[in-house]
Amino acid sequence: MITQAMLIEILENICKTIEENMSYLTELDIAIGDGDHGINMNKGFTAVLNKLPSLQDKDCGVILKTTAMTLISTVGGASGPLYGTAFLKASSVVNGKMEINNTDLLEMFNSAIQGIVSRGHANKGDKTMLDALYPAYDALKEAIDNNNTLKEALQAATEAALGGVEYTKTIKAIRGRASYLGERSIGHQDPGATSSYLMLNAAYNTINK
């Protein structure tokens, strides 16, 4: 169970993690994109961090929807609308709820992925954030189906996301700016897959405290 107070703490940690990794994400994007992924993400999540104090008493749906709208309105570049849509879809699963149970969490994750797909039309193996998120979802589902704890499930999801990040080094980009490089994108790690992993890891670290 994730209470709304825990959700706010998770978001706070995501914001901090993105800030700490801003240069790292930007370096990855310099190699195969336009070198702004860290900057884009940090701009969005700094704005989210500033909204969190006003969300202390709100339900999980409002917290996530505000996060979504903030990302959509502040992040330029592909990642803003994609992550914004992901948070927006996740928010609608927990409208009016003060806590998120494991079934909600799975449904939120699935809806978030579907939102990214419907917005960006990427497939598995196109070297995008989805290559971290799909394996993370599968691992989360397997862990929850097997009655593991939330902590164990998030750990499994985080590890699977990291595996997905490694996998992006081996494949050619089909979507996003990196696709302009074609074969030359092989050998490089996808920035968006990396930010997805970092966000999941921040969520896991918050629960694991």
Told to check if 29 binds Mg ion by CB under 5 A, we report yes
The verdict on 84 binding ligand ADP (CB under 6 A) reads no
Separation in Å, CA 159 to CA 42, 46, 120, 133: 23, 26, 25, 11
**59 in contact with ligand ADP (CB under 6 A):** no
Least distance (Å) between residue 65 CB and Mg ion = 25
**What is the spatial distance between Cα 113 and Cα 123, in angstroms, rounded to a whole number?**
11
Q: Identify what 79 binds: Mg ion, ligand ADP, none; CB under 5 to 8 Å per kind.
A: ligand ADP
- Of the two residues 36 and 59, which places its CB atom closer to ligand ADP in the complex? 36
Question: How many other C-beta atoms lie within 10 A of the C-beta of residue 119?
Answer: 16
Alpha-carbon Rg for the chain in angstroms: 16
User: Using CB atoms within 10 A of its CB, is residue 30 exposed (0-12), middle (13-18) or buried (19+)?
Assistant: middle
Output the smallest distance, CB 79 to ligand ADP, in A: 3
Q: Which residues are near ligand ADP by CB under 6 A?
A: 29, 33-34, 36-37, 40, 77-79, 82, 116, 120-122, 128-130, 175-177, 190-193
